[in-house]
Amino acid sequence: MIEIIKISLICYVFTRLIKPKHIFQFYGKLIKRLPWYIADPLGACFMCLTGEVLFWYYIITQPFDMIDLLFWPSLGIMLTLIYDKIYSWWLCE
């Protein structure tokens, strides 16, 4: 459970840091050249990146259970939505 929180936070912060004038902007420019269906899971969309990372993390590290396989990405996406709401509230966007 704590892995989901850690990974979702890392994914959210990473997608914020690929915006212009941030440390990973070169990566953001690189993935913008790709079609949306490839760019989104690679970082253009924070929900897509989080879901993808948590899906593969679960497949690689955990014993298989279909409910948990669906739960991990779902909770991670929900947490990134909460992070985004807090971020926009904090910066008054």
Q: Which tokens belong to 6? A: 């850690």
Give 34's contacts (C-beta < 8 A, 6+ positions apart): 42
Taking the C-alpha atoms of residue 46 and residue 23, their distance in angstroms, rounded to an integer, is 17
Q: Quick one: pLDDT at residue 69?
A: 95
Q: Quick one: pLDDT at residue 1?
A: 86
What would the mean pLDDT of 79-84 be, rounded to a whole number? 96
Per-residue pLDDT band for 92 (boundaries 50, 70, 90) equals low
Share of the chain above pLDDT 70, in %: 98
pTM score of the predicted model: 0.89
Q: What rounded mean pLDDT belongs to the chain?
A: 93
